[in-house]
Amino acid sequence: MHVNVWHELVESNVGKAGLILIGLMVFLAVFAPVLSPYSPRENTDAPAFSRPSEDHWLGTNDARQDIWTQLLYGARTSLSVGFGVALLSAFIGVLVGGTAAIFGGLYDRFWMRVVDATIAIPDMIVIILVAAYFRPNVLLMILLLSALSWPEGARVVRAQTLTLKERMHVSAARTFGASWSHLLVRHIIPDLGPILVAIMIQDARRAVFMEAGLSFLGISDPSVMSWGIMMQYARIFTYLEVWKWWLLPTGLALSLTLIGLSFTGYSLESALDPRLREADHHHHHDGGI
Amino acid sequence: MLEINDLKASYDETEILAGVDLDLLRGDSLAIIGESGAGKTTLGLAVMGLLDGRCSGRILLDGKDVLSLDEKERRKMRGKDMAMVFQNVEDALDPLMTVSDQIGEAISAHREKDDPLEVEDRVRGLLRSVGLGEEKGGSFPHQLSGGEKQRALIAMALANDPQVLILDEPTASLDAVTKAEVTHLLRERIREKIVLVITHDISTAAKLTEKMAVLYAGRIIEMGETRDILDNPRHPYTRGLIRSSPNMTTTKDLQGIPGRMKHGVPGCPFSDRCTQRIDRCRKEVPKLTDAGDRMIACHRGGIVPLLELSGVRTSFGDFAAVDGVDLTLYEGETIALVGESGSGKTTLAKTVIGLFEQEEGEIRLEGEPLIKRDRDFYKRVQMIYQNPKESISHRMNVLEAVAEPLAIQKVGSPSERVAMVKRVLEEVELSSDDAFLKKYPHQISGGEAQRVAIARALVLNPKLLIADEPTSALDASVQAKILKLLLNLQEKRGLAILFITHDIALARKVSDRMAVMLKGKIVEEGPTSDVTTCPTHPYTMKLLEVAPGLAPMSKARETREERGGLWDVSEMPPLRAREL
């Protein structure tokens, strides 16, 4: 099996659109200080609720802060939480799912019950309770969200590893006396690559959404600029015209980020799963080595 | 009786015989076998008192020490009490005398008083007894064929009915049919004598003698009943000799013995060429000691059992895929495990290597019970798989793939590993240049991939190689090359191979012993030649029946199959002189 997943991802329109959207958001987040002269909490000279202008592309809010700048820095928070959770929960997922599949037996059964139990926990309630108590900053938010989102990944990784484990090159490595870490790093993870990225995108999407939701509910660190917080403030002033350039662009940014992740994830999954592939795909790959 | 005690002989500081002890009674026939240069002929010459070099020890014939006699007394004994048939037929006869005269001379030389008529009578009798016919007696040597000359020489040796007869390569230069005739003749004529047959021809030795001694660099390293030694050689050198001699009994391809014989090495003389030597072998000379049915000189007690399985059972749920298997694999030996798919061959292999959990039974490796398979275990036991390309990760190039076992076992530094990889690639007859090292599995052929897989397995210097259908995915011509390679590697490294195949014709060519597996059990096991020629289990017979052959069905076989049975003895064509 030698299907070039990455190639197919870039070839498909949905995948292309998804990657462009993610790229755009990453660009905005990374170059925030370049794209705006202000800082997100800075009270500018412009009057409150001023309309979009050359100086303030999206106008200002009630505290004379530049909304465009806030949007840029909000992207930073959203994306850090998204990528952080993706990386951490994928790491835990590979460690737990991979070793469970390799060792099997009691160890496997133990971890799979832990996975079941974690999935059964109602995420939102736990997060709201914990977050309300801790007022988490970005790092804590990543840890909290990862702790709840790794089990799905672990399940997929375990299933995939069980198949990969039967591959002859893995057997061969085992009969050279390879340790589990060698098997995982050299033989399993490289072949897990695409599916792992699909899992990570899934986790990232959930994390971005959750983070926005939580800050919208006001249970995040208020000193951190976030799209959720922006929308919560903007909501108060919906009787004014300001929602057009305050609430709407923020909601749009969040939606585009989520859409970008969804598109990429969808396209990746269809490349991975031959049943989801279009029957008459113009790009025909030879399956054999 | 002939008694040889601690016989040593040397030519110019080179010790040719390094202490030989023998005890022979009337009626004993002993073959002395070994490569040229082992000291076989020297031993014969020493017994005859004909040796030029320095000699020590004792050679007692009926209590008289041949070595301490003076030349006159020795001459009296030679020809009368002991006689020798020499190796070179062409030179041993005087070209200017008739055969009868030469035999007559041999008789008269030991008589005080000559009675020409009696001598002539005896010569005629001798000529008849060696099958020459009296009319040949008047011939000169150049008028005789090789076989006839050999017969004449035998007649000369028998002239005075000596007690001890030494035959030095008695059939070496004869063609196969003449050889069979001469062998038959000798067997008849040597009864009730003490006979030493000096030969490198094992089949002649097998036909002529009851006992056999294997001589190596001037020492006897294995001695016992000829049958026992040939059926079941215990010294690695003896096994090597048998493997390298063409015969109609064994079916495996010929294999040589690595290295060359050297005299005067410290320790065991064979240690340089031995694949199972330990430190002690280089330091101490092993003594010839009693090992049950024979004497053997080896610090390790002969060929060591490398892998011993007893009552091994592996099951999946309620189904026992391997159900109580006993099997012993010796150092440097190939056992073919044959049987149809689903018989449990691969399960057994994977159980041994540790890919499947063994449920019951014991596995011993080099005598030690195998408790857990740690990293060290995989240095000694390796496996190659049916599909070589799948056994190599498609993300690894040749260099990475062959270096992987070294990396796992933490052997050497990265640069040392590259050197080791190159060496092992050359050993498996692959290119070791950079271009090849950078190739990925899908860029090389199936045969190359299997060689890479073999290189991967061998880079750790294992003692046991499990080969699971290693050639079933390859073309016949590539298959043949891979099998040759495996045999060569076995010869060079003393590798023991557990060869798993469903192809009994293939197994027959590569294995010393064969084990037939059916439904998780071994139903028949023995030397490959025995199993393939006289199978005892119906399943083995069935396997042999369906095995591939090349000959279109012969007429005899056709008729036989039409009749649905074997030939009647009465209908068989008359036997031609198969053996005089």
What value does the mean pLDDT take over residues A259-274? 84
pLDDT tens for A25-37 read: 999 999 988 888 8
Residue with the two structure tokens 């809010």: A61
Q: Answer whether CATH 3.40.50.300 is correct for domain B305-546.
A: yes
Give the integer Cα–Cα distance in Å for A283 and A276.
15
Q: Do residues B355 and B381 lie in contact, with contact meaning Cβ atoms separated by under 8 Å?
A: no
At residue A281, does pLDDT exceed 50?
A: no
> What does the radius of gyration of chain A's CA atoms come to, in whole angstroms?
22
Element at B477 (helix H, strand E): helix B476-493
CA A192 to chain centre: 18
Closest CA relative to residue B314, chosen from B517, B531, B514: B517
Q: Give dist(CA B373, CA B456) in Å, integer.
A: 19
pLDDT, residue A157, reads: 93
CA distances (Å), B344 to each of A166, B340, B522, B531, in order?
A: 18, 9, 10, 19
- The answer to whether the Cβ–Cβ distance between B393 and A179 falls below 8 Å is no
Interface size, chain A vs chain B, as Cβ–Cβ contacts under 8 Å: 63
Please, which pLDDT band fits residue A284 given cuts at 50, 70 and 90?
very low
| A156 is a domain residue | yes
pLDDT, residue A54, reads 81
A71-104 tens-digit pLDDT: 999 999 999 999 999 999 999 999 999 999 999 8
A285 neighbourhood in chain B, CB within 8 Å: none
What is the pLDDT averaged over residues B478-487? 89
CA distance B17 to B22: 13
- Which residue type sits at A134? F
pLDDT score of B554: 60
> At A283, is the pLDDT very low, low, confident or very high (cuts 50, 70, 90)?
very low
- Provide the pLDDT confidence category of residue A19 given band limits of 50, 70 and 90: very high
A285 located within any domain:
no
Name the least confident of B108-122, B224-238, B368-382, B420-434: B108-122
User: What span, in angstroms and rounded, lies between the C-alpha atoms of B236 and B277?
Assistant: 10
Q: DSSP letter for B142, please.
A: G
Which of B46-60, B83-97, B420-434 holds the top average pLDDT? Answer: B420-434
Judged by CB atoms closer than 8 Å, whether chains meet at B390 and A173 is answered as no
**B138-171 confidence digits (pLDDT tens):** 888 888 888 888 888 888 888 888 899 999 888 8
Q: Is residue A123 part of a domain?
A: yes
- Return the number of other C-beta atoms located less than 10 Å from residue B405's C-beta: 29
Chain position carrying tokens 């070039």: A4
Provide the shortest C-alpha distance from residue B491 to chain A (in Å): 23
DSSP string, A200-252: HHHHHHHHHHHHHHHHHTT-S-TTS--HHHHHHHHHHTTTSGGGGTTHHHHHH
What is d(CA B561, CA B74) in angstroms, rounded to the nearest whole number?
A: 66
Query: Tell me, what's the pLDDT at B563?
Result: 55
Considering only CB atoms, A172 lies closest to which of B354, B391, B442, namely: B391
A289 interaction partners in chain B (CB closer than 8 Å): 389, 394, 441-442
Per cent of chain B over pLDDT 90 is: 34
Tokens of B487: 């045999």
Mean pLDDT of chain A, nearest integer:
85
Search chain A and give the residue with CA nearest B406: A176
To the nearest whole angstrom, how far is the Cα of B312 from the nearest Cα of chain A? 19
Model pLDDT, residue A260: 93
pLDDT for B538 equals: 92
Q: Determine the Cα–Cα distance for residues B146 and B87; give it in Å rounded to an integer.
A: 12
Between CA B449 and CA B207, with CA B251 as vertex, the angle to 5 degrees is 150
Residue type, B238: T
Q: Poorest-confidence range of A156-165, B111-120, B545-554, B569-578? A: B569-578
For residue B202, what are the contacts with CB-CB under 8 A and spacing of at least 6?
B33, B230, B241, B242, B245, B247
Q: Chain centroid to CA B2: how far?
A: 28
On the 0-12 / 13-18 / 19+ scale of CB atoms within 10 A, A132 is: middle
Give the mean pLDDT of chain B.
Answer: 87
CA distance B235 to B230: 11
Domain count, chain A: 1
Q: What is the CA A286 to chain-centroid distance, rounded?
A: 32
A171 contacts B377? CB cut-off 8 A: no
Nearest to A19 by CA among A286, A267, A287, A288: A267
Test B409 with A179 for CB contact under 8 angstroms: no
**How far is B81 from A32, CA to CA, in rounded Å?**
115
In this predicted structure, what is the pLDDT of residue A288?
36
Using the predicted structure, report yes or no on whether residue B574 has a pLDDT greater than 60. Answer: no
Q: Which CATH class is domain B1-81+163-175+191-303?
A: alpha beta
Q: How much is the average pLDDT of B129-136?
A: 82
A37 part of a folded domain: no
Instruction: Give B373's DSSP letter.
Output: -
Confidence of residue A275 (pLDDT cuts 50, 70, 90): low
> Span B202-220, mean pLDDT?
91
What are the chain B neighbours of A187 within 8 Å (beta carbons)? 393
Average pLDDT over every residue of B250-272 = 85
Other residues' Cβ atoms within 10 Å of the Cβ of residue B507: 28
CATH number of the domain enclosing A109: 1.10.3720.10
Domain that holds residue A162: 5-32+67-274
Give CA–CA dist B222/B290, Å, rounded.
10
Q: DSSP labels for B421-443?
A: HHHHHHHTT---SHHHHT--GGG
Q: Which residues of B touch A102 (CB under 8 A)?
A: none
Choose among B374, B385, B442: nearest Cβ to A172.
Answer: B385
* pLDDT of B578: 39
Out of B36-40, B193-197, B450-454, B574-578, least confident range: B574-578
Distance of CA B93 to the CA centre of its chain: 34
Contact between A270 and A3 under an 8 Å Cβ cutoff? The reply is no
Best-predicted range by mean pLDDT among A49-63, A263-277, B304-318?
B304-318
Is the ipTM above a cut-off of 0.85? no
| Residue B336: predicted pLDDT | 94
- The C-alpha torsion from B473 through B478 and B483 to B487, rounded to 10°, is -150
Average pLDDT over residues B12-35: 89
User: Chain B contacts of A176, Cβ < 8 Å?
Assistant: 378, 382, 404-405, 408-409, 456, 460
**What pLDDT score does A221 carry?**
79
Give B424's pLDDT tier (boundaries 50, 70, 90). very high
In a domain, A41, yes or no: no
pLDDT of the residue at A276 = 57
pLDDT tens figures, A94-145? 999 999 999 989 999 999 999 999 999 888 888 888 878 887 788 988 998 9
Most confident of B170-179, B182-191, B194-203: B194-203
Residue whose entry in the numeric block shows the structure tokens 């023995």: B526
A chain contacts of residue B393, beta-carbon cutoff 8 Å: 169, 173, 186-187, 190
DSSP state of B287: P
Chain A residues within 8 A (CB-CB) of chain B?
A: 2, 167-169, 171-179, 182, 186-187, 190, 289
Please give, rounded to a whole number of angstroms, the shortest distance from the CA of A115 to a CA of chain B. Answer: 27
**List of chain B residues whose C-beta atoms are within 8 Å of the C-beta of residue A168:** 385, 387, 390-391
Other CB atoms within 10 Å distance of the CB of residue B534: 10
pLDDT bin (cut points 50, 70, 90) of residue B70 is confident
Q: Is the pLDDT of residue B62 over 80?
A: yes
**What average pLDDT score do residues B117-137 get?**
85
> Quick check: helix, strand or coil at residue B237?
helix
Q: What is the pLDDT of residue B472?
A: 85
> Which sign does the torsion angle of CA B555, B560, B561, B563 carry?
positive
pLDDT band at A194 (very low <50, low <70, confident <90, very high): confident
Q: Where are the domains of chain B?
A: 1-81+163-175+191-303, 90-161, 305-546
Q: What pLDDT score does B68 carry?
A: 85
The pLDDT of residue A286: 40
Residue A61, token pair as written in the block:
């809010």
pLDDT tens per residue, range B492-507: 888 999 999 999 999 9
Q: Is pLDDT at B402 greater than 50 in this prediction?
A: yes
**Residue A287: pLDDT above 70?**
no
